[in-house]
Amino acid sequence: MTEMILYPLRFEPIYQYRLWGGRRLAALLTAPLPNDDPIGEAWILSDRQDHSSKVANGPLQGQTLGQLMEQSQEQLMGRLAQRFQRFPLLLKFLDAHQMLSVQVHPGYKHAGISPAVETVKTEAWVVLEAAKESRIYAGLKPRTTAEILRQSVTNGTLANQLVSISPKPGDAVFIPAGTVHSLGDDVVVFEVQQNSDTTFRLYDWGHIDAKTGESRALQVDQALACIDFANGRAGLVTPVAESATPVGRETLFDCDAFWLWRVRGRSPFTVGATGVPRVLVCTEGTGQIEYHVDTYTVGKGEVWLLPAAVGACTFRPGSAVNLLEIAIPAHSASD
């Protein structure tokens, strides 16, 4: 197919049934939620074979992210084109009405546990909504061993071994691969992660899936094998301020899988970068992306991909805006 000229791209969300989900994503995204099922996840940027995001604006409407990676990889990825055959990040909104399973994602050193290294998954959360009873678990308490975890899974006391966080809106939580984690009891988060859907469940709180009438399978041995017991990086992070004018800009996450900044304010500011892609996620307010002579209206809950060929643009808030900007590092630990 002929390579297309790229521009700022908006994508449609892909809703996912989850037994622990709710219905609050309807207030965050404009696309209506399907039927009456609990919707736990909205995949807002995905290059998975089974779920590939579709462009929602302009001449490329209906094209999938996977097709763009095949047809226009140089335009899309710029200097990163030779590193990735698939877009390396998967972005989501999560509505955890109930608790997610206590789970672990593998790291590079755990490649033998699963078929391919692509199963590696480091992720991070930005809390958007939380209730008094909301809870995030991220990491293990000191001196917790595999044997203690196995016993606590059996007797239902696993939560006692986990670092517990009472989240509040704006909190940022880092979950490197190998971290035992969970969240729920009415918390909504934005999630950025490596492009993987591999999860090993350690414990599932006694959940029964209403669609099957059965509990979900656990993978205790695989989960225990993937835990990084020496990992001290997981949990709440302290934002690092970069600038206060014309808008507040702070770094939330800076790891070998992704970088993420939060920008807040009312004045115009620059987004994107020359020669590399950037992703924008609007969590509050509205605005416009100005690219050459064109403008693209950005609403709450939307994700926009700025291809490398687009470069830097001006973002002009229409009201007080809260915008997340995400970059892909030039190198990773696997290189």
Show which residues are catalytic. Answer: 201
CB contact at 8 A, 182 and 201: no
Residue 218 — φ and ψ, nearest 5°? -105, 155
CA–CA distance from 180 to each of 188, 281, 288 (Å)? 19, 27, 39
State the DSSP string of 235-294. EE---EEEE-SSSEEEEEEESSS-EEEEEEESS-EEE-BTTB-EEEEEEES-EEEEETTE
SS3 175: strand
d(CA 178, CA 166) in angstroms, rounded, equals 22
Provide the strand spans (E) within 134-204.
135-140, 162-165, 172-175, 181-184, 187-194, 200-203
What tokens does 285 get? 């307010």
d(CA 143, CA 229) in angstroms, rounded, equals 9
Residue 189 — φ and ψ, nearest 5°? -135, 155
CB contact at 8 A, 262 and 247: no
SS3 49: coil
